[in-house]
């Protein structure tokens, strides 16, 4: 699929999925749908037990999250926004509930949508120069309900609320201390972080897969069922109301102009 490469090491029961959409892996409807299709294809292959997600970019960014053109109300519509939201949420919820062992290899920045992809993985590994967080609030956009809930399930409710309400991106050392990531690599290279994630996957796929998957489902099924019901209709309606509010439009327009050097055209953002 365009912007996605799947690598299968010979004889190994796992895959490495690389996302490489220049310049910063910003996600539009097509990319969310492509990543969802990739995950479903891997899950349907009985020879695959695990997957590592990583950036295929040269620059130090895992993914900058959502493309602003999908969130800037004057350039989209309620129907298009719902299509975008369903593509995004079905991938995220599917990743969190996947039978596969999953790991994120995070090099550099990992805001918002990128952070949520990582939170949906079973394990996360980060380079020392990394940052991570749900940074929507300063841009005038509410943090999606289940994204914040995922962070709460990962690091605890009180710590998660402090981070999402401030929209703060935390540096790698703090991310490790909070439990947002499982470990940090010794250097900032892509090779190091992918190696850390694949080493973890190698250990995870040696466990009996049926027992591991059933245990995972037991921990996550109720949460995912609730999430799935919410993102089908209620969440897209709430989200469209939030991004089409004139105050949110004005704030996002200011961000777009800043990121595009004063021009009014929508550009990719670190959102």
- Domain of 34, CATH number, reads 3.90.226.10
Angle ∠(216,35,212) on CA atoms, nearest 5: 15
CB atoms within 10 A of CB 216: 18
CA angle 232/234/237 to nearest 5° reads 105
Q: How high is the mean pLDDT of the chain?
A: 93
pLDDT at position 262 is: 58
Q: Give residue-wise pLDDT tens across range 155-184.
A: 999 999 999 999 999 999 999 999 999 999
pLDDT tens-digit map of 194-238: 999 999 999 999 999 999 999 999 999 999 999 999 999 999 999
Q: Is residue 264 part of a domain?
A: no
Decide if 269 is inside a domain: no
Which two tokens mark 93? 């919820």
Averaged pLDDT, 84-110: 97
Q: Judge whether 241 lies within some domain.
A: yes
Does residue 15 belong to any structural domain of this protein? yes
Specify the number of domains making up the chain. 1
Say if residue 267's pLDDT is above 70: no
In a domain, 211, yes or no: yes
Is residue 271 in a domain?
no
In the structure, what pLDDT confidence band is assigned to residue 83 with cuts at 50, 70 and 90? very high
pTM above 0.95, yes or no: no
> Within a domain: residue 133?
yes
pLDDT at 139: 86
- Residue range 19-32, pLDDT digits in tens: 999 999 999 999 99
Domain contains 267: no
- Tell me the residue range of the domain where 193 lies: 4-259
């Amino acid at each position: 699929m365009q912007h996605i490469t799947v690598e299968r090491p010979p004889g190994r029961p796992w895959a490495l999925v690389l996302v490489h959409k220049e310049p910063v892996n910003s996600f539009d409807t097509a990319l969310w749908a492509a990543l969802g299709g990739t995950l479903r294809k891997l899950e349907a292959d009985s020879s695959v037990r695990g997957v590592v997600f990583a950036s295929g970019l040269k620059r130090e960014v895992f993914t900058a999250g959502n493309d602003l053109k999908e969130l800037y109300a004057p350039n989209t519509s309620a129907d298009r926004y719902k299509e975008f939201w369903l593509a995004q949420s079905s991938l995220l919820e599917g990743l969190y509930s996947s039978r596969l062992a999953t790991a994120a290899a995070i090099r550099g920045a990992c805001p918002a949508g990128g952070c949520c992809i990582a939170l949906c993985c079973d394990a996360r590994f980060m380079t020392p120069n990394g940052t991570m967080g749900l940074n929507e609030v300063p841009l005038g956009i509410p943090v999606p309900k289940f994204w914040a809930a995922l962070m709460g399930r990962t690091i605890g409710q009180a710590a998660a609320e402090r981070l999402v309400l401030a929209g703060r991106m935390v540096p790698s050392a703090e991310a490790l201390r909070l439990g947002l990531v499982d470990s940090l690599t010794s250097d900032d290279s892509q090779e190091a972080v992918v190696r850390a994630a694949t080493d973890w996957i190698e250990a995870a796929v040696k466990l009996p897969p049926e027992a591991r998957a059933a245990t995972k489902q037991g921990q996550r099924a109720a949460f995912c069922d609730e999430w799935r019901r919410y993102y089908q209709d209620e969440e897209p309606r709430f989200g469209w109301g939030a991004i089409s509010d004139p105050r949110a439009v004005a704030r996002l327009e200011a961000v777009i102009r800043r990121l595009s050097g004063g021009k009014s055209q929508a550009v990719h953002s670190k959102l």
